[in-house]
A = this chain, B = another copy of it.
Amino acid sequence: MTVTIKDIAKAANVSKATVSYVLNDKPGVSKKTRQRILGIIKEMNYYPNVVARGLAGKRIGMLGLVIPDITDMFYASIIRGVEQAANNFNYTLNLCTTHADSQKEREVVDLFSSGRVDGLIIMTYHLDKDYLTALKKKGIPFVFIGSPIEDESIYTVIVDNEKAGYRATEYLIKAGHQKIAFIHGARDAWDNQDRFQGYCDALINYRLPLQQELIKSGDFQRLGGYQAARELLCSALKPTAIFAANDQMALGALTAASELGFKVPADLAIIGFDDIEAASLIEPALTTISQPTMEMGEKAVELVMALIDGEKPERRKTFLQTSLVRRGTA
């Protein structure tokens, strides 16, 4: 069948231990023996069984990755970052999607508590306390990405939504806009709130009035953005710029604007958030805030790997910077 360490040992006339030393680059083996064994390994096409190694040693070389939905481009690009970084550590990924199903989330905790992975990277929106407690009890290292954890003891990689919201708004202000509308996503979503906070701060900082009539809700959906924009553009207080809490809504706003005969960006500037694929496909292409998804993945991996190594990094929250992608709408 498959060739094992025993076969190599036999073929090389050494013990399994010696082969193991060679495999793991441990000292205590003469250069000659090492070379010889290495040769035999190549020749016999031997690959150590990671499962056995995992049982005997500690590491299994696998990171668990918990995400709500893989078809969400935002998550997909983070995964790409995670994957790349994990590979650098010679790790691979065990993927688990929860589809925002808390039952599933619970299952995942159990699943991963069976020695399958060395560490966990988790992206998820709703995090009940029990989930966290269970996770902590397992003793398996984990890091959250982009989630609003109250618990200060938890390692998190997160984007500074507030700052990004501030910058987007500031950008519009500096372009000369005075009547800047904001379209909310889900009102209670933490990221939406932070973005809104940034918007408010910018207005205040630049001594612009915060007007309720310029603040609408769009629910993070395209249609919501469309409707909110329609209301805005038909109102007495016609804004000259709209900052939507995400790209989908910005896209909706764009449709509304063109239907109502507003030229973008001449009559109306629009700025979104996320930089989804469609943002650059649309005409005119959407100016938006782009999140450093690759970097988020990388940082998260670095963190778990440190935790796996038994380190206890000082900083619990890692804030990453967004960037403003200037395109055609603002």
Contacts and interface: CB of A to CB of B under 8 A. Distances in A.
Interface of A: 2, 47-52, 54-55, 60, 62, 65, 69-71, 73, 76-77, 79-80, 83, 92-97, 110-111, 113-116, 139, 222, 251, 255, 258, 277-278, 281-283
Contact of A47 (B62, B79, B92, B113): B113
Copy number in the complex reads 2
Contacts of A222: 281
A233 to B, nearest CB: 17
Nearest to A96: B92
Contacts of A93: 94-96
B92 A95 contact: yes
Contacts of A79: 70, 95
A28 to B, nearest CB: 24
Given A83-B95, A93-B95, A116 B282 contact: no
A94 B62 contact: yes
B76 A97 contact: no
A123 to B, nearest CB: 14
Name the 9 nearest CB pairs between A and B, nearest first.
A49-B115, A47-B114, A51-B54, A93-B95, A95-B95, A50-B114, A51-B115, A278-B278, A71-B76
